[in-house]
Amino acid sequence: MSEVTALDSSVLVLNRLYMAVNVVSARRAFALLCKSQAEVVSVEDNQYNSYDFETWIEVGQARDRWKNDGVEWVRAVSFDIMVPKVIRLLFYDRLPQTRVKFNRRNIFARDENRCQYCGKRHATNELSLDHVIPRSRGGRTTWENVVCSCTKCNARKGGRLPEEAGLSLYRKPAKPRRSPVIRLKLLSDKYQTWKQFLDNAYWSVELK
């Protein structure tokens, strides 16, 4: 994996009370570690171990660099450093937000990049957002009325209702109870260590 990709990996951020409050890129996580505003939280043998930036470098140097254990690495000038999965803010006590942010990223994640009319998955740049009930007919911009649509289906539907265009919804749109992006990431083994920090009451962390 390239170092650019590794720096763009997602890192779960906890507040001082070990509650999940955010998800940031590895690049941002390293910046917080370097400024001594955060520490790495590593789950080892069912225990939490904390490391500041310097000791995290030492941990990486002591590990078998070539072991295929899914660890990502970033090369610095004089050392290699592991990309952490979880960091904890040392001076932040605020509780996580409980509202799932209504934005394009979360809608795409909720619909799994799948056109809700033809049912096919597409790259993000091949998808647009469609109002099931067109705005020209009083349709609102809400979780329950906005879905992913491929360009072909969107052009076919136009300003009509789905049934008027001979289309049907793949799945009825609904407001998610927890962050769709977090849910997708938890399907990957890469982010399994997040689960123990993501109590159901705190799954709707905002993404930056």
Return the residue matching tokens 């930056």. Answer: 208
Whether pLDDT at 201 is above 50? no
Question: How confident is the model at residue 137, as a pLDDT?
Answer: 94
User: Would you place residue 98 in the very low, low, confident or very high pLDDT band (cuts 50, 70, 90)?
Assistant: low
Classified as helix, coil or strand, 27 is helix
In the CATH hierarchy, which fold is given to the domain comprising 104-165? Answer: DNA Binding (I), subunit A (1.10.30)
Closest CA to 20 of 71, 84, 95, 70: 95
pLDDT digits (tens, 9 = 90+) for 158-176: 999 999 999 999 999 999 8
Top-confidence range, 3-12, 53-62, 147-156, 196-205: 147-156
Give the residue extent of every domain in the chain.
3-97+179-207, 104-165
Q: Kindly report, residue by residue over 24-46, the tens digit of the pLDDT.
A: 999 999 999 999 999 999 987 77
* Joined tokens for residue 170: 């793949």
Tell me the C-alpha distance between 168 and 121, whole Å: 16
Residues 129 and 107: beta-carbon distance below 8 Å: yes
Regarding pTM above 0.75, the answer is no
